[in-house]
Structure 1
Amino acid sequence: MVVNEVPHLVLALLAASTAAAIWSGDLRTDVLSGVLLAGAVATAVMLILLTRRAARSRSVAEAALRAAGMDRAPARRSWWRTALTPLPIRPRSVRRLRNLRYGDHRRQRLDVLRRRDRPTGGPVLVYFHGGGYFSGSKNWEARGLLHHLAARGWVCVSATYRLRPGAGFEEHLADAEAAMAWARTHAGEHGADATTVVLAGSSAGAHLTSLYALRAKPEERPAAAVCLYGYYGRYYGRGADEAVTSTPFALPASEAPPFLIAHGSLDNYTSAGTARALAGKLRAESSQPVVHLELPGGQHAFDIVSSWRLTAVLDTLDALLAVIGVAAGGTSTGRSAGAVPSPPEVRRAEAFARPSDRHLEAS
């Protein structure tokens, strides 16, 4: 995946090492040296092809916005800066508050990322990591997304949740509810406008995001949902007779919020076809914008590094947020995600984070 996301840097390393070998005389005129040099050239050609394919992400993003009916080109972030700075290093302007509790379990923890100068009135992002519901951490994927929005005045919340085998689907969903309730209740303490919350996730986190966005009551519905290389089928071992629906395909989408669905065309962990099908369902049932971005040659977990593909996703997200009226620069305008939960709603969400028989029946 890493080579696929930054092939130009691997190409530079290959060129430098080959030049050094030639300069030092390590490559002689024997057959073995010729084979090694031919292998380096063939590898370089393939890396050039990978680079060209990754660089197409910008044009694909523009086409995805047009297909969604948006006559708005994404911002043209510096392609060269992205090429030379692939590590998602947190900007000095952004502070990270680690391991805040939103429940009693050791996995019910979240980080808050916000600008150090604490601007007020910015929207909120709540993000769930991937890992197939049995692994994963809030410290890995989508750091570029979190840093990008936090640097622009958002308050970003990155949450962990309980995992298999100690927890099941109802517990994962309960933790998503509890983390969202925490964000709406406490984001204002960090300067955010807690009435505008965008929900995002990668892989299993995208599955959780899609389910929450379609299940939520109107007053709890996010302003938008961002799903990155998600799995959208049923939870482990479940069938159509499951008591609690675990696939977005089985939920009505007439009241869905705006969606951004981004997936790599060559993802061999989760199907790009399923992402296309979910986008089709949402477009057929929902009146809100649905942007489906299929990144050419993209693999799973492309958001671990700050690559051209992730940059294309961020540009597309900025365009979508502007269209739906969620400002990306420290203030929130237009569409609201609903009022801050009342105390009874907060108590219900806190109870949801501690599963009980009553919770399972309600679900």
Structure 2
Amino acid sequence: MIITAAIWLAFVAAAVRPPWRRGSLGFAVFVATMSFNEIPAVFLGVFIASMLSSPWPGELHHWLIVALLASATTAGLIWLQVRARTTIRVLDIGLADGLGGQSRGKHHELRRTVRPTEVWVRGLLLPFQRRARHVMRQRNLTYGPDRAHRVDVYARPTTGDARPVLIHLHGGGFVSGRKSRESITGSSQWRV
């Protein structure tokens, strides 16, 4: 039980603060921790279930070590979920910069239409939900000569006038990931 709890903590700690960010070791850390960063609430549920279903050690000092490791892992997973919410502020700043100073109305139109509490509930109950139902998707539109030059466009069903465009480049460093998979839940909930 101590080894299991320590392994969980090692992965969560690397997701919270990667020991390497560049080179081969940085890529290995990215691959090992990307799921923890993408769906920390799901991993929290799995971790709690695994800890509760496993037999705890009988000796007091072993029990205390497991409790300490489990508490640190739980805190780390909660922090990853909280930290993910801070990206909205970065997006707001980028939208304000890109749309200009007189764009308050346009900026708020691009703002998330889902309440923050709904995002937490969806993250817990439907972590693999693909996109909001009211969003229409046009897949694999060509923008260049290469077979990889394809883009998916998400929009509201009815738009009569010109609207700003939000371009979302998913993670993966242009070597992994897919446009139809990474960050779809978050990016498709924005009004465009």
Q: What TM-score results when the alignment is normalised by the length of structure 1?
A: 0.31
Count of aligned pairs: 139
Secondary structure in 2 aligned to 1:8? helix
- 2:127 aligned with 1:86: yes
Aligned to 1:9: 42
Secondary structure in 1 aligned to 2:43? helix
Aligned to 1:62: 92
CA gap 1:55/1:49 in 2 versus in 1, 3 angstroms:
same
| 2:40/2:81 contact within 8 Å kept | yes
| 1:5/1:302 contact within 8 Å kept | no
- 2:188 aligned with 1:314: yes
- Cα distance in 2 between the residues matched to 1:20 and 1:12: 12
Aligned to 1:184: none
Give the CA deviation at 1:157. Answer: 2.7
- 2:152 aligned with 1:200: yes
The correspondence for 2:145, drawn from 173, 178, 181, is 173
- Cα distance in 2 between the residues matched to 1:157 and 1:301: 12
Ranges in structure 1 where 5+ consecutive residues have no aligned partner: 89-143, 162-171, 180-198, 202-222, 225-256, 272-298, 322-363
- Cα distance in 2 between the residues matched to 1:68 and 1:28: 59
| 1:82/1:311 contact within 8 Å kept | no
The percent identity for this pair of structures is 19
- Cα distance in 2 between the residues matched to 1:304 and 1:37: 36
- Cα distance in 2 between the residues matched to 1:27 and 1:81: 34
| 1:61/1:313 contact within 8 Å kept | no
- Cα distance in 2 between the residues matched to 1:28 and 1:2: 33
- Cα distance in 2 between the residues matched to 1:153 and 1:43: 36
Aligned to 2:73: 43
Q: What TM-score results when the alignment is normalised by the length of structure 2?
A: 0.52
Give the CA deviation at 1:12. Answer: 2.2
The letter for the 1-side match of 2:37 is N
- 2:181 aligned with 1:304: yes
- Cα distance in 1 between the residues matched to 2:152 and 2:179: 15
Higher relative strand content: 1
CA gap 1:5/1:62 in 2 versus in 1, 3 angstroms:
same
- Cα distance in 1 between the residues matched to 2:180 and 2:93: 21
Give the CA deviation at 1:44. Answer: 1.4
RMSD: 4.0
Superposed, 1:57-206 pairs within 5 Å as 57-69=87-99, 70-71=103-104, 72-73=107-108, 74-77=111-114, 78-83=118-123, 84-88=125-129, 144=130, 147-148=131-132, 151-152=133-134, 154=136, 156-158=138-140, 173=145, 175=147, 199-200=151-152
Secondary structure in 2 aligned to 1:173? coil
Secondary structure in 2 aligned to 1:28? coil
- Cα distance in 2 between the residues matched to 1:53 and 1:303: 24
Give the CA deviation at 1:6. Answer: 1.0
Give the ranges of 4+ consecutive aligned residues of structure 1 lying more than 6 Å apart after TM superposition.
none
Give the CA deviation at 1:40. Answer: 1.8
- Cα distance in 2 between the residues matched to 1:302 and 1:38: 39
Give the CA deviation at 1:261. Answer: 4.0
Ranges in structure 2 where 5+ consecutive residues have no aligned partner: 1-33, 154-161
| 2:41/2:81 contact within 8 Å kept | yes
- Cα distance in 2 between the residues matched to 1:86 and 1:157: 22
Give the CA deviation at 1:174. Answer: 5.3
CA gap 1:17/1:158 in 2 versus in 1, 3 angstroms:
same
Secondary structure in 1 aligned to 2:167? strand
| 1:58/1:312 contact within 8 Å kept | no
Structure having the higher Rg: 1
| 1:76/1:315 contact within 8 Å kept | yes
Secondary structure in 1 aligned to 2:91? helix
Give the CA deviation at 1:7. Answer: 0.6
CA gap 1:42/1:259 in 2 versus in 1, 3 angstroms:
closer
The letter for the 2-side match of 1:152 is H
